[in-house]
Amino acid sequence: MKAIFLLFIGAALGVALLPYLLFRQNEMPPGTNLASPAYPFDTAKLLIDRTAWDSQSGQSHKEHRIFDAILDEIDAAETFLIADFFLWNPWKGATDTGDDLRPLASDLATALIEKRIQSPDMPMLVITDPINRIYGDHAPDFFQRLADAGIPIVFTALDQLPDSNKLYAPQAWFWSKFLPGEKADDARLVPNPFNPEGEKLTLPQLGRLLSFKANHRKLLLTGHRGGKTRLLLPSFNPADGSANHSNIGVLVDGAVAGFAADSELKLARWSALSPENIQGGLAAEASKVISEIENYLAVLPAPDFADPGQASVAYRSEGAIRDEILLQFQQAIPGTQIDIGMFYFSERKVIGALKVAIERGAVVRLLLDANRDAFGREKNGIPNRIVAAELMELADDFDVQVRWAATQGEQFHSKVLRIRGSQQDILFLGSANWTRRNIGNLNLEANLLLANAAAVNAQFDAYFDSVWNNERGDQESLPYEDWAEAGWSLTWKKWLYRFQEWSGASTF
């Protein structure tokens, strides 16, 4: 009897462990993990969305620039257009702000449809993440309106990306490949987490949601007569629930836009191999548009490369973003000023490199989201408050400071690094949070590295100092003590954060 019991236990363990033995992680697909050369540019414009709180009136003050710039770029496009945005939907989650939220999602769709009417022959391509149809059939109506207007929409094939979740990704892969069982496509049992009034989700939708894979890029590429190309790359999502967030981005011209466009077209190619990833059955149209833009880029003049010390811009994506951050921290010498504005900061290699830079004598200021709000739902401060506590352990001996963005329900959604000193003068910004999932060759991300860009860097420095010191009179940042973690709260959150960052069992 004992032998039978042990045999049963062994068989059960074997079945449980088999997925981990058979599972093979995907490689990053074409068009990812890229580091471009440094290119010169003619113009670069910093775009900032600020949401500040007036404590006397009890109202927020919004100074937002990014979405209007997106609309202007769509209107100005002449030879091609590529839009790739992570969150693009009208859902507000649990946010209860009434008409206070600008209808970004539908306004963007309307702008693209109007552009199609004005320029019926110009190739236009939309790429987005399947989160916007909740990994199933919950796409907002405007996606079909875009398709009806002849604009192909390619939902990213997330199954081609590596899996960030070490715990259940092998199990999900195994059960779907080898023991599929009955499909649950018609059993809608799961409450809709994005739209409380929306239709419930199926179990397969829930499974894809819990994989936490994403095309997290946010960018707009436009072509212009004379072989000119422009790239607008922000931390901004055109989602109604994100309308009040603080964000930052840059609009730049030159060869870097062609480099980014080539990456986007490769992404669209391997995603469009499955017709189910294309809205409205426009598979042939999608292939045609991709080819047309490829042909346009192929005949552009060979790009010039920036000389040392010249103002330049370079493209970084996925794991190359982390490589760049680590390189910049390694180069920091005593007295180098490092300013960081970040929505999520958790990646252990980056934290270690930053601590070494601090101990070497770099002067560091971190402006962080307190991770307390997510579309009307309360969060527990992980990971930023825990990482901030770790860095502030150095504050007695070294020059490191932390302040919190003074949010009131919205998020400080920027992801930006500024370094200035005798040997460095860079601004690094884009879509990527500093987390394992975002910069560890798992999700899709896109950043721009500007070097020696005097006007843009000066504008950012003035902005950062203004928020840091609340120079406008509004409350835009709070002292570290206001949201500092300590005691038992810090202890259990530290271990939870470390487990989540290692395992991928988290939303960050």
Q: What's the average pLDDT block by block, 10 residues per block, for the chain (508 residues)?
A: 64 66 85 98 97 79 96 98 97 65 96 98 97 89 96 96 86 62 61 79 78 94 96 98 96 98 98 94 94 96 93 98 98 97 98 98 98 80 97 97 95 97 96 97 98 97 97 93 96 95 89
* 292 and 332 part of one domain: no
Structure tokens, 320: 């190359």
Q: Which of 298, 330, 345 finishes a domain?
A: 298
Q: Is 240 exposed, middle or buried (0-12, 13-18, 19+ CB in 10 A)?
A: buried
Determine the pLDDT at residue 1.
62
This prediction's pTM: 0.94
Determine the pLDDT at residue 178.
58
**What total of structural domains would you count in the chain?**
2
**Can you give the residue range of the structural domain that contains 191?**
44-298
Determine the pLDDT at residue 180.
47
**Alpha carbon distance 503, 491 (integer Å):** 18
Determine the pLDDT at residue 197.
75
What pLDDT digit, counting tens, does each position of 99-112 carry? 578 999 999 999 99
Determine the pLDDT at residue 182.
44
Structure tokens, 4: 């039978």
Determine the pLDDT at residue 93.
72
Determine the pLDDT at residue 13.
64
| Three-class DSSP category at 362 | coil
* 480 and 367 part of one domain: yes
* 109 and 245 part of one domain: yes
- Alpha-carbon distances of 66 from 15, 260, 349, rounded to whole Å: 51, 19, 31
Q: How many whole angstroms from its chain centre is CA 463? A: 22
* 231 and 116 part of one domain: yes
- Does the residue 3 lie in any domain? no
Please, what is the angle between helix 104-118 and helix 141-148, to 10°? Answer: 10
Check if the beta carbon of residue 130 is closer than 8 Å to that of residue 155: yes
What pLDDT digit, counting tens, does each position of 267-281 carry? 999 999 999 999 988
Determine the pLDDT at residue 176.
59
Determine the pLDDT at residue 20.
78
Q: Residue 222: which residues within 8 A CB-CB, separation 6 or more? A: 73, 74, 76, 77, 78, 80, 81, 82, 229, 230, 232, 257
Q: Residue 472: which residues within 8 A CB-CB, separation 6 or more? A: 52, 466
* 291 and 321 part of one domain: no
- Does the residue 21 lie in any domain? no
Q: Residue 357: which residues within 8 A CB-CB, separation 6 or more? A: 329, 330, 332, 336, 338, 364
Question: Tokens 């967030």 — which residue?
Answer: 245
Q: Which of 275, 298, 321 finishes a domain?
A: 298
Sign of the alpha-carbon torsion through 468, 473, 475, 479: positive
| Three-class DSSP category at 83 | strand
Query: Among the residues of 49-134, which ranges form H helices?
Result: 66-76, 104-118
Q: Which letter, b or e, does each residue of 336-346 get, where b requires 16 or more Cβ atoms within 10 Å of its Cβ?
A: bbbbbbbbbbb
- Alpha-carbon distances of 461 from 332, 369, 451, rounded to whole Å: 18, 19, 14
CATH number of the domain that 165 lies in? 3.30.870.10
- Does the residue 7 lie in any domain? no
